Structure 1
């Protein structure tokens, strides 16, 4: 699910984690360099300086990475290594304490989910958009999915959006104040059709108008409750306006006629 109003805290947490990670790595590098320099200065052997530097670096890397493969030390070097080991433990403990758990919060999960959905939306093509996931929208989406269509659900209600996501639909969630952004994210420029299935006629009219503005060639199917509303929706860019009341009335009349025909001699 893609959330238009993504919590900024997730991105801020990741930025802070990166900052702390860089700081922790910097401390470990300082321990590595300090250990190397100290071991070279305390090396009393007659080995060439380059050999001393390489041996010191080898021992320092083993210290930081805890591999444990050290060369022989004199007494001064052993004392120094004890101090360096203590510093390594302190730095490693600090790093674990600062970094552990920062990337496991819900806000971080939302951030990564949005990033993954962005990639999917960028490549979305020939899909059908259902807006919103109302009772009618759920039926429409299910039948479209059964027919093999790629369905994208748009909604401003978090519970309905979560339900749609749980059923396997791609979902964009945004509140009423940001619904223009929702429609822009829905890739209406590459969509095959838009089904407007809300119960609010004013919201349906607004969605139809914005969608038609974004893609004048888009097929828009929307419900209208009377003749005036049908004309308004058609002028707003609807391709087909379905009168739900007329459909119900026709179905009831057909059912009545069928029952009368069954009882005729």
Structure 2
């Protein structure tokens, strides 16, 4: 699911985690550097300086990574290593406290979900948008998916959006005030059709108008309940206007013998 109004806290948490991770890495690097210099300077052997520093670096890496494959230390180096081990434990503990659990919150999950959906929406083509996912929208989406169409649900209601997402549909969620953004994110420029299935005629008219502006060639199927509403929707850009009452009436009459001519 892609949320237009993404919780900002998720992004802020990730930025803070990255800042703390950089700080933890910097502290570990300082421990590594300090340990290398300390062990090297306390090496009283007659080995060349490059050999001393390489051995010191090797020991420092083993200290930081806790591998423990150390060379032989003299007494001064052993004392220094005790201090270095204590510093490593302190830095590692600080890093664990600062980083653990920061990326497990719901707001962070929403952030990553939005990022994943952004990549899907960028490459989305020849899909069918259904708006909203009410009783009619649910049936339309299911029948479209049965035909093999890629269905994208557009919703303003959180529960309906979660229901559609739970059924495996791609979903864009936004409130009424940001629904123009929802239509823009729906990649209507590359869509094959839009089904407007809501019960509010004014909302349907507005969605039809905006969708037609975004893609004048888009096939828009919408319901209308009067001749005036049909005319308004067609002028707004609807390619097909369905009168639900007329369909229901035809279906009801079709179940009886009333429309059949009487035999003489």
Work out whether the TM-score is over 0.5. yes
Q: By how many angstroms is 1:256 displaced? A: 2.6
Give the C-alpha shift of residue 260 in structure 1.
Answer: 7.3
Q: How does 1:46-125 map to 2 (within 5 A)?
A: 46-125=46-125
Match of 2:215 in 1: 215
CA distance in 1, matches of 2:263, 2:247: 26
List per-residue Cα deviations over 1:26-78 (Å, max 9, x = no partner): 00010011111111121111111111111111100100000000010111110
Who is 1:134 aligned against? 134
Shift of 1:208: 0.1
Whole-Å Cα distance in 1 between the matches of residues 259 and 56 of structure 2? 97
- CA distance in 1 between counterparts of 2:258 and 2:58 reads 92
Q: What residue number does 1:164 align with?
A: 164
What is the distance in 2 between the residues matched to 1:258 and 1:166? 43
The residue that corresponds to 1:197 in the other structure is: 197
Q: CA–CA distance in 2 between the matches of 1:203 and 1:179? A: 10
Displacement of 1:225 in angstroms is: 1.0
Instruction: Give the Cα separation in 2 of the matches to 1:166 and 1:145.
Output: 15
User: How far does the alpha carbon of each residue in 1:185-232 deviate from its partner, in whole angstroms, 9 at most, with x for none?
Assistant: 101011000000000011000000000000000000000011111111
Aligned to 1:240: 240
Name the Cα RMSD after superposition.
1.5
| Offset at residue 257 of structure 1 (A) | 2.5
Unpaired segments of 5 or more residues in structure 2?
none
Partner of residue 6, structure 1 = 6
CA distance in 1, matches of 2:172, 2:115: 13
TM-score when normalising by structure 2 = 0.97
2:259 and 2:74 map into 1 onto residues whose CA distance is 106
Q: Distance in 2 between the 1:246 and 1:17 partners? A: 58
8 A contact 2:253–2:259 mirrored in 1? no
2:29 maps to: 29
Q: What is the TM-score with the length of structure 1 in the denominator?
A: 0.97
